[in-house]
Chains A and B, each alone.
Chain A
Amino acid sequence: MAVTEVVAGLHPAGIEQEKIAEMIKEKFPEQVIDVTNFRDQVAVIIKKNQSFSILKYLHDEPVLSFDHLRDLTAIDWSNKKEVRFEVVYNLLSTKYRHIIRIKAQVPENDAKIASVVPIWAGANWHERECFDMFGIQFVGHPDLRRILLPEDWEGHPLRKDYPLKGYEGDKDWPGFIEVIKRSQELKEFEWHD
């Protein structure tokens, strides 16, 4: 129970992002589709088939040791790109202070990808949210249920074909209609002056 104040041990910044991308390319030459760089942030686009082993490699390789899954999400490219979905992993190593972004392409007709919960336990809720919002199945997830939306919700709201106001549009929420109906039923019991 001793708490100490430390200057966060600033290890020399680890490997550069391009080099990490190179390393992935070397190790999995078949899998890497593209490497992009925007504002000093490198993203490696990969095929989804071996995404699990690539991420496991990133996590386990002692030189890399990406122990922190900063974020896991998806992008719906709708008809802008050939492959509709991209599952995005933002990784960081608290040991070496280097980052990388991995994007796995997931086609619409086979919206499944291996779950990374065995690698990062924290991915659990991220993947549930991803499933909730995009309808991407995570194979091997221990408890894949909707998380933010009710269990009986229809559709996946963050898909681009989902309208902003929902499928119901301007229609009132059923619960609200129920309340109005009930209040009309009970009107005869109201007190009058």
Chain B
Amino acid sequence: MNMANVISPSTVDALIKFGIDVAIILLKIVIVLAIGLLHVAYATYFERKVIGHMQVRLGPMRVGPHGLLQPFADGIKLFFKEDIIPAQADKVVFYIAPIIFMAAAMVNLSVIPFDANFVIADINVGLLFIFAMAGIGVYGIFISGWASNSKYAFMGGLRSSAQVISYEIAMGLSLVGVMMMAGSLNLSDIIRAQGESIFGMYAIPQFIGFIVFVIAAVAETNRTPFDLPEAESELVAGYFTEYSSFRFALFFLGEYIAMILMASLCTICFLGGWTLPWYVLKIFPFLSYVPGVVWFVLKVYAFFFFYYWIRATVPRYRYDQFMAIGWKILIPVAIGNILLTGLVKIILKEVL
């Protein structure tokens, strides 16, 4: 039988189209991964420089001009260090944990729309997907703490899972207002709806949700002042105390990717993603020629800078105080915000 008879020309077309789609997606993945990892590398550099200057010192200066090659030096160092596995550790789980953590963080990059038409997987439940993956990431933390067979790591793992789970609730609730206003869970749609709204960005009408989200985002990524799972002065390094070499680097990468993710999510849901508010464009019309991805990245950087700023400024909360903030303040406030949003929406509908 002839192959051409079996596969009709339309099928061939479909196949070719499918092939091209796959190729484009692969290309996008490569671009996102490369740029994402480069950003992780330079986020560490940026952090050390920013905090350094805030603390009247210079930060890395030795490797390359102004220490620009420092991230690569660090990466190479981590690669070639001895990989130590504690004798009493549960080896298989010990191996898997950082991979789960890292993978769960990385997968999220696939649903982030970096520009109007640049998203790897434009799925309808983007926001839910991110929450689901963040939930899986907790497993990585928790089992790494358990598998290390060290008390510090164990306590770090316990603290971290409790922290991430409780703050996920607050974060999810804080985003409900956004979902209600946009009427979609698709991240690109949320951005578009934002661009079309009167405010241009949801940070203004949803400011309560915005504040709750920012606090929860800091907690979710285990950063100061909520860095209890890895509180240096208490638990040495928390859940990755026993990790070294590349496995440690995986945790490190995962954490910074999670930071990128949170910054992106904040940009998407509250700061208008790649769009600029219409009133800004009205005043400076020439800004519309700047590609959208630039605005997106700039907003992410601004959020990063905020991360570093608070790290250099505030002390660390105690575990119980921190949980109290999550459960007694943030969650009720977020629920109140949902009620308020719904109420305003109904009133507006009635009035208009």
User: Is there any pair of Cβ atoms, one from A and one from B, under 8 angstroms apart in the complex?
Assistant: no
Q: B interface vs A, CB < 8 Å?
A: none
